[in-house]
Each structure stands twice: as C-alpha cells, then as structure tokens.
Amino acid sequence: MTTPYNAPPPPQPAPKRLVRSRDDRWVAGVCGGIGAYAGIDPNVVRLLAVLAALLSCGTAVIAYIVAWVLMPEQ
C-alpha cells in the first residue's frame, strides 16, 4: 500500500492532564485524579496518602491541601 507524499500526518493523542476527579472523590478529588493520571486504583493512592499523613507529622496533609488548591477540577 502506498501513501501520497502530501498526506497529512495522523492526529496526535491529547496529552494527559493532572486534574482533580469530579466523579471519584471523597474529599476534594485529589487522590482520584492522581490515580486516574497514573493509571492505578484511586483507593491505593488514598491508602498511601493516609499512611503518609500518619508518618510525616503533617507534611502530607499540607501537600494534599496544596494539590487541592493547584490542581484544576476535571
């Protein structure tokens, strides 16, 4: 099969964006958005976030709040 030299290139897929989930949320949708972006179950992200919050003396909570403010909603 031959293609003409002046054929347009195929369309590029849309880039993935890190956004807060509107459908899969418990508090603000941050963990749901990170899970969707990374392609993993959001419950795993939530579990890791809770563990980090318990072990980091509040740093993970501050990081969650910062992500809540900075990540756009879906």
Candidates 37, 32, 13; CA nearest to 22 is 32
pLDDT band per the 50, 70, 90 thresholds, residue 25: confident
The domain limits of the chain are 30-70
Instruction: Please give the pLDDT value at position 1.
Output: 56
pTM tops 0.75: no
- List pLDDT tens digits, range 28-51: 888 888 898 888 999 999 999 899
Q: Whose structure tokens read 């958005």? A: 33
In terms of average pLDDT, the best of 1-5, 9-13, 58-62 is 58-62
For every residue of 21-43, DSSP letters joined together read -SSS-SSSSHHHHHHHHHTS-HH
Is 29 in contact with 10 (CB distance < 8 Å)? no
Q: Which residues contact 28 (CB under 8 A, 6 or more apart)?
A: 20, 64, 68
